[in-house]
Amino acid sequence: MAAKERPESNPYLSIIETSRQKTEADKNGKSVKDLVILPYEVALPSSGFSLEASQTHANRIYMMMKLALGADEDDLTAQR
C-alpha cells in the first residue's frame, strides 16, 4: 500500500474533542500527553506510514489500558 502524502486525523472526532478538553484541564499530566499523542500514532499506520518507535507506542497503549481499568496514574509512572 502506498503512503498518502500526510497522515490524517479528523478534528471533529469525539476522541479529539475529549482530548482537547482534558488537555485544557490538566496541561502537565502524563496520561493526557499520551492521550493526545495516541490518535496521531494510530493515524500513521492507517495512512500507510511506519511508526519510528513502535515500542514507545506499545507502552503508551498499555498505559492507556491500565488507566481505563482504573489503575492509579502515580503507580503507573513508578512502573516505567
In 3-state terms, what secondary structure has residue 54? helix
pLDDT band at 78, cuts 50/70/90? Answer: low
CB crowding 15-29: b at 16 or more within 10 Å, else e: eeeebeeeeeeeeee
Give per-residue pLDDT as tens, 23-64.
888 878 777 788 778 878 888 888 888 888 888 888 888 888
Q: What is the DSSP letter of 52?
A: S
* Domain ranges, ordered by start, for the chain: 29-79
Q: Which cell is 3 given?
A: 503512503
**pLDDT recorded at residue 73:** 61
- pTM of the predicted structure, to 2 decimals: 0.56
The letter for the amino acid at 18 is: T
Give per-residue pLDDT as tens, 12-26.
778 778 878 888 888
**pLDDT recorded at residue 36:** 78
